[in-house]
Amino acid sequence: MSPSRLERLLSYHIRHLLPHVLSHRNLYKLSYIFALLTAVTSGFISLISLFSAPWQYHLGYTSKQINIIASWTMLGMYLTPPVLGIMADIHGPITLSWLSLFLFVPSYAYLSYSFNQANNNITFLFTVISFINIGIATSALYFCSLITCAKLYPQRKLLSISLPTTCYGISSLIGSQFLRWKWFFTKQNYLDLARVFKCFSWIYLVVCILSWVATSFITLLSIIEEKERLSNDSSDNINTTGSSSTNNFINDTETETENENDISETTLLIPVQTKEENQKYIRIFLSDPTSYLLAISMFLSLGPLEMFVTDMGSLTEVLLNGRDNPTLSAELLSLYSFVSTAVRLSTGVLTDYLIKIKKSPKWILINYLILALISQLYILTLTSGGNRHKISDSKILLMGGLMGAVYGGMFTIYPTIVLLRYGQDHFGTVYGSLMTSPALGSAFACMLYAQIYDSNCKTSSLNDIANVISSSNCIGNVYRISSLQILISLLVTIRVLHCWGPKKI
């Protein structure tokens, strides 16, 4: 696919500098490392569960307000990937790195400023808008990392899918440990979000610059590949690979620089053809009934998983029946993140092995759905009236481990299944379109949780945590509904895989 004029413009300086600094092989490695670093930081949004206490105690937010922020963040993350995928397919992943820069940095800077301002409807509205931008930027940066890795190593699922998703999962583990630094805490022993968000703003400034370098190399590879294709079309006697030596690599780049205008004129029609082909593929994808069934499966299964991340802190308070344990939420998030990361990596290894021995990885997805159902039923037993007073910290940590395993596995195997089913050429567009489902599922699950929590489990005052449980059912109805959702998702997924048949996955 020929790079568009926008992609050439955004990458111009970096792609002409890189070949004179490092060899082709080292640029491959460096770009991949930068892409993984991008994935590591793109998941800091999962730390939102640690922001609940500061929002409640410092700004006076209710559970409904917190879940409104989380829901709009998830909508920003998951409704925009279709557009982001099309942008990346047509204009390259470099556009996503620039978009992330312009959304992350100003948004976190505003949130840092507003935390110490008076809370009112206007500041809350701008807080929601900022988190919508952060949600969009999170998807853009993660997509940028995932697509960059897929373009560098398309034949190796461990490197193209598993490792970037693993790095995305480990970001919450790294972030939760990073935020334990005492400098981030107030005298009242909750996070000073003004400092946290200011720090995030600087981190993303650096990360987006590294992502710009990595994606510029992808553009450079695309230009060289297109130049070789045009050369091969015009002469059968010329057959270069662009990577036989560092000198050839630099010469190709210099030649491309000298003939930038000529090549641009020659290939200006190609992005138009690519756009038409992309639109045609989208129409085929949207006309396939199994695409909608897969979207329903993701809506039902991934929504409750995102809800758990958002409401981890308040759920812990409910399970402890008001017992004060300020370190347990951080420990729960750390364990959750560690297990999620380990499962992401192991899922990638297992998927590569199954593909190597020509076995279908669909059974991995089915088993994770079964584990997801078990995890929801386990939380349901914890939130039942007869067991609430017997809950120990170890049972809560077990809950976190189960949910971490399910979350890590599901968010690794779903994109892998999509990549195997639909191929890499339109991966960004297809997977981006499907990710609208967990966006709506997350919003539904979070607002359901907030409604039930505020009705049955709401504290009488900010300092009266002991009254957090005021009903025998309290939050249990949430997990009755989520268990039913995942059971239906399992049945729908089995139907989808049956329709695809063994040859398509």
435 φ/ψ angles, rounded to the nearest 5 degrees: -75, -5
* Contact criterion met (CB below 8 Å) for 211 and 88: no
Beta bridge partners of 185: 191
* Contact criterion met (CB below 8 Å) for 140 and 84: yes
* Contact criterion met (CB below 8 Å) for 167 and 39: yes
Residue 306 lies in a domain: yes
Residue 505 lies in a domain: no
Residue 444 makes CB contacts below 8 A (sequence gap 6+) with: 303
pLDDT at residue 273, rounded to an integer: 40
Indicate the pLDDT class of residue 274, thresholds 50, 70 and 90: low
Domain holding 181, by residue range, is 5-500
For the chain, the domain total comes to: 1
Residue 74 lies in a domain: yes
pLDDT at 459 over 60: no
Q: Which residue has the tokens 């409807």?
A: 121
pLDDT at residue 302, rounded to an integer: 92
Nearest one of 2, 15, 31, 220 to 91, comparing CA atoms: 2
Tell me the torsion sign for CA atoms 336, 342, 345, 347: negative
Burial of 377-412, coded b for 16+ CB within 10 Å and e otherwise, reads ebbbebbeeeebeebebeebbebbbbbbbbbbbbbb
Q: Which two tokens stand for residue 301?
A: 């299964």
pLDDT at residue 277, rounded to an integer: 62
Residue 421 lies in a domain: yes
In whole angstroms, give the CA distance from residue 77 to residue 137: 8
**pLDDT, tens only, 214-239:** 888 777 777 777 677 777 766 555 44
Q: Which residue has the tokens 């991340």?
A: 309
pLDDT at 388 over 60: no
- Looking at per-residue pLDDT, the higher value among 31 and 245 belongs to 31
In whole angstroms, give the CA distance from residue 256 to residue 244: 17
What average pLDDT does this structure show over 139-158? 82
Nearest one of 137, 50, 78, 63 to 337, comparing CA atoms: 50
In whole angstroms, give the CA distance from residue 352 to residue 359: 10
By three-state DSSP, how is residue 185 classified? strand
Q: Which residue has the tokens 């440990």?
A: 177
Nearest one of 145, 164, 154 to 213, comparing CA atoms: 145
Tell me the torsion sign for CA atoms 320, 321, 325, 327: positive
Residue 88 lies in a domain: yes
* Contact criterion met (CB below 8 Å) for 336 and 481: no
Q: Which two tokens stand for residue 466?
A: 């002991």
Q: Is the full-model pTM beyond 0.85? A: no
Mean pLDDT lowest for which of 161-170, 197-206, 384-393? 384-393
pLDDT at residue 492, rounded to an integer: 94
What average pLDDT does this structure show over 90-95? 82
The length of the chain is 505
Residue 200 lies in a domain: yes
User: Residue 288's CB: how many other CB atoms inside 10 A?
Assistant: 12
| CATH number for the domain harbouring residue 144 | 1.20.1250.20
Residue 71 lies in a domain: yes
User: Residue 82's CB: how many other CB atoms inside 10 A?
Assistant: 19
Q: What's 160's DSSP letter?
A: I
pLDDT at residue 463, rounded to an integer: 46
Indicate the pLDDT class of residue 244, thresholds 50, 70 and 90: very low
User: Is 62 exposed, middle or buried, given 0-12, 13-18 or 19+ CB atoms closer than 10 A?
Assistant: middle
328 φ/ψ angles, rounded to the nearest 5 degrees: -65, -40
Q: Which residue has the tokens 């790095």?
A: 167
Residue 387 lies in a domain: yes
Indicate the pLDDT class of residue 485, thresholds 50, 70 and 90: very high
User: What's the Cα-to-Cα distance from 206 to each of 33, 104, 200, 210, 321, rounded to whole Å?
Assistant: 14, 11, 10, 7, 42
Indicate the pLDDT class of residue 106, thresholds 50, 70 and 90: very high
What average pLDDT does this structure show over 189-212? 90
pLDDT at 375 over 90: yes
The proportion of the chain whose per-residue pLDDT surpasses 70, expressed as a percent, equals: 81
What average pLDDT does this structure show over 23-44? 84
Residue 277 makes CB contacts below 8 A (sequence gap 6+) with: none
pLDDT at 96 over 80: yes
* Contact criterion met (CB below 8 Å) for 191 and 112: no
What average pLDDT does this structure show over 120-136? 91
